[in-house]
Structure 1
Amino acid sequence: MAWPPTLAAKRGAALQTQHLRFARRQPASRALHCFVLDCSASMLARGQLALAKGLLIALFDRARAERAEVALIAFGGARAEWRFGPAVPRWWNERWIEPIGGGGGTPLEAGVQRAARLLDTARRRDPARAQHLWLFSDGRVTQWPARPRHADHVRVIDCEAGAVRVGRCEALAQAWDGEYLDAHALLA
């Protein structure tokens, strides 16, 4: 209710419905979390894709509780595809994420470019909204794409497993001035 305009409209008369004035509420600017999931063949080798999917389910549940918007982009083979959002996830479970398969090469650049376009569009719609980019990968890439310019916060989730670790995810997080997180440590 906007009281000053309501009182001005009533002008000393008895308050009636036609006098009522309402203030427009600006919707709260909620965060946008853009998840970029590596679905390449190397992510299948030791169950890294399954690990990443499990973490995604937990993060989607958290986003739903916070009423944050999420988007999911999966890349693998020769392409990157948009899978969900941006939207507030109403429900999220294993049945939805299970069909996301893996195999082929690692087109990281295509995945990051797709995420950059999504974040650019979201920034134009709501310049005040915080935008988070989450990259899930094992770092078995040969490309080093530029950091998406509209990603306010970047987190690189390292899903690499095995005795010999290359450490490219940590290097990418540093190059993008982002946060590095080990997926295996997140489960502990």
Structure 2
Amino acid sequence: MSGVRWPHTAGAGTRGSKPGRRIDWPSTLAAKRREPLARAHVRFRREASKGSVLHCFVLDCSGSMMSGQQLALAKGLLVAMFDQASTARAETALVCFGGARADVRFGPAVPRWWNERWLQPVGGGGGTPLALGVSRAAHVLERAARGKPGQQRWLWLLSDGRSSDLPVRPVFADQIVCVDFERGAVRLGRCEQIARAWDALCCTPEDLIAS
């Protein structure tokens, strides 16, 4: 997972290829949509902002995520993102939901180290309380906004979307990325539906992992 790329700072990416600039994957994926990735789609992140950044991750630990390798892949992706955040001195928060629970497992804080307990499933699998997980994350973002109003706040939803919930978009999320872990021949496309309702970006974990 060391090849994962994600934006560390606020602002939409801009075109160009100046040395040392990193790809802004959410903006690139938004430009690409369902087309094959081409050079014209690539967006680069702007110079580092002086303001702080918070990335709030919402991890689906429901039974459908645990039945395959989706949860293991999501955990690996999160560990890589924690490492990226630590390097960029960005704050992170982690909310895990599953069964009938949604718990804040970490933060908001700069992840100087990580603990396996942060990523342990909650609720023993079971159902997908998506609305509860998003609500808990919304409270985290609201508290952060009150304490640091100038902070750029990102919400990352890592889920297969196997839920009938359609939560309200968190008000204090400046940018939202839905990472779609749905697998199988029969797809519900719920993550894409949520992304459209929230005016958010939607991508797969593979999109975030550098080849």
* Structure 1 length-normalised TM: 0.80
- 1:107 Cα deviation (Å)? 0.5
- Give the corresponding residue for 1:130: 152
Q: 1:83 aligned to 95, 98, 105, which one?
A: 105
Partner SS, residue 51 of structure 2: coil
Residues 69 and 98 from structure 1, CA distance in 2 versus in 1: closer, same or farther, beyond 3 angstroms?
closer
1:98 and 1:113, CA in 2 relative to 1: closer, same or farther beyond 3 A?
A: closer
Deviation >2 Å, runs of 4+: 95-102, 184-188
Tell whether 2:171 aligns with 1:149.
yes
Question: After alignment, is 101-110 or 153-162 more displaced?
Answer: 101-110
Where structure 2 has 5 or more consecutive residues not aligned to the other structure, the ranges are 1-49
By how many angstroms is 1:186 displaced? 3.0
Deviation at 1:74, TM superposition (A): 0.2
Instruction: Give the total of aligned pairs.
Output: 160
Return the alpha-carbon distance in structure 2 between the equivalents of residues 163 and 186 of structure 1.
Answer: 22
Per the alignment, residue 83 of structure 2 pairs with: 61
- The residue identity in structure 2 corresponding to 1:99 is Q
Deviations 1:47-106 (A, max 9, x none): 11111111101111111110000000000000100100000000136x445533550110
Q: Give the TM-score normalised by the residue count of structure 2.
A: 0.72
Alpha-carbon distance in structure 1 between the residues aligned to 2:204 and 2:182: 8
- Aligned partners of 1:53 and 1:97 also within 8 Å: no
CA contact (8 A) 1:159 1:184 kept: no
User: Mind listing any 5+ residue stretches in structure 1 that lack a counterpart?
Assistant: 1-27
In 2, distance between residues paired with 1:98 and 1:76? 12
Alpha-carbon contact 1:139-1:169 (below 8 Å) kept: yes
8 Å CA contact 1:156–1:169 kept in 2: the answer is yes
